[in-house]
Structure 1
Amino acid sequence: MIEIPSDLHPDVVSLAFLLGTWEGAGVHDFPGSEKCNFGQEIVFRHDGRPFLEFRSRTWVLNAEGDKVRPLENEHGFWRVTTNQRGTSGEREVELSLVRDDGTVEIWYGKLADGKPQIELATDAVARVEGSAPYSGGKRLYGFVEEQLLWVGEKQAPEVPLRPYMSAQLKKVLNPAQLVKDVNDLPDDGIAFFR
């Protein structure tokens, strides 16, 4: 079930399915870098303004599923706006993103009709001198059976666009909400079981 917080800005209600903390694992595979399984934590939050804040941390996992070392971190802001670049006047998703390797990206995409799914593609990429070669990508995020699934494609000057990361994430329960839910139970606690 998708909950829409009462203080969520109306411009980002269509992104409400992303809100929360998500954890899970995935696979990373791109030429020139280590092929590995990774763990991931993604946090989508809002503060009442017309965007969602996004943080993603990934780390390499060993065969036992233990954290070995950081893989990559991202921080960004998701917005829903009217398409100003074309003449259609459609609503589109914008993502401004910075990675820990010194890459800055601007992404644009669309929400799928009638389902919680977003497809994005890079519009601009800037890199510091020491970052890995990278020239663009695509991403697909979807809320499927109470899970957040995503797949990323990447291209570099010597590598055509190809899948490089994907993950399956589950929402982490918020202890503050659990306490609130317990406090909303009848005083005797027995009514819950009737």
Structure 2
Amino acid sequence: MSAPDPGYPYEETDDLRSGPDLHADLLPLLPLVGRWRGTGKGGYTGIEDFDFAQEVRFSHDGRPVLAYESRTWIIDSDGHPLRPYNREFGWWRPLQKDEVELLLVDQEGYSALLVGEVQGTRFEMSSDAVLRSASAKQVTGEHRLYGIVEGDLLYAVDQAADGEQLRPYMSGRLVRL
């Protein structure tokens, strides 16, 4: 006779009404917790401007870190998906009172550590370190700005890559699900 199944004990949630309690250190990041979807615009030197759809998830498991996952798809002018574009994972960690860091990894072989400030519902970070594989896009820096505006998550990513200085790369507006 086997013991009753206690359930999977390592729950992670993007819904604050279920799962483990949010760690007190994450209170400055509380506005981000959840699942978000929307669209945006992208472009960079050497690539044609594009429209994309995106889903972002900020979740926690009771520890003082937010898990982050972003998936994007290139879309046509009617909003229909044409193909997957980018997928990245990361962890947002509050540091001192109004500071945050983001450790980020994407499928293109690029990783970055970004650090910055939290000002209410505004989160601004710049790269402190970049690591990339030999086959990765030659990213040398990033600046990211996230903010909750009228209940939506807006963001802009500036990127330095392939010998270029920081310049606009992607921006979007996402709605909480």
- TM bucket (normalised to shorter chain) is 0.7 to 0.9
Q: Distance in 2 between matches of 1:121 and 1:134?
A: 13
Larger Rg: 1
Letter in 2 for 1:40: Q
User: Could you say which residue in structure 2 is the equivalent of 1:130?
Assistant: 135
Quick check: 1:23 aligned with 2:37? yes
User: Could you say which residue in structure 2 is the equivalent of 1:99?
Assistant: 106
User: Could you say which residue in structure 2 is the equivalent of 1:66?
Assistant: 80
Letter in 2 for 1:46: H
TM-score by length of 1: 0.79
* Alignment counterpart, residue 155 of structure 1, candidates 150, 154, 160: 160
- Deviates further, 151-160 or 64-73: 151-160
Letter in 1 for 2:65: F
Please tell me the root mean square deviation across aligned C-alpha atoms, in Å.
1.5
Q: Distance in 1 between matches of 2:60 and 2:104?
A: 16
Quick check: 1:117 aligned with 2:117? no
Task: Provide the secondary structure at the position in 2 that maps to 1:77.
Answer: strand
User: Could you say which residue in structure 2 is the equivalent of 1:145?
Assistant: 150
Deviation at 1:63, TM superposition (A): 1.3
Whether the aligned pair in 1 keeps the contact of 2:73 and 2:82 (CA below 8 Å) is yes
**What is the CA deviation profile of residues 69-90 of structure 1, one whole-angstrom value per residue up to 9, with x for unaligned ones?**
11111100001012xxxxxxx5
Letter in 1 for 2:54: Q
Task: Provide the secondary structure at the position in 1 that maps to 2:26.
Answer: helix
Whether the aligned pair in 2 keeps the contact of 1:42 and 1:55 (CA below 8 Å) is yes
TM-score by length of 2: 0.87
Q: Distance in 2 between matches of 1:148 and 1:44?
A: 12
- Give unpaired runs (5+ residues) of structure 2: 1-14
- Give unpaired runs (5+ residues) of structure 1: 83-89, 173-194
Number of residue-to-residue matches in the alignment = 161
**What is the CA deviation profile of residues 121-163 of structure 1, one whole-angstrom value per residue up to 9, with x for unaligned ones?**
0000011111111100101000010100000001124211111
Percentage of identical aligned residues: 39
User: Could you say which residue in structure 1 is the equivalent of 2:68?
Assistant: 54
User: Could you say which residue in structure 2 is the equivalent of 1:182?
Assistant: none
Whether the aligned pair in 2 keeps the contact of 1:4 and 1:13 (CA below 8 Å) is no
- Deviates further, 58-67 or 153-162: 153-162
Deviation at 1:93, TM superposition (A): 0.2
Of Structure 1 and Structure 2, the greater strand share is in: 2
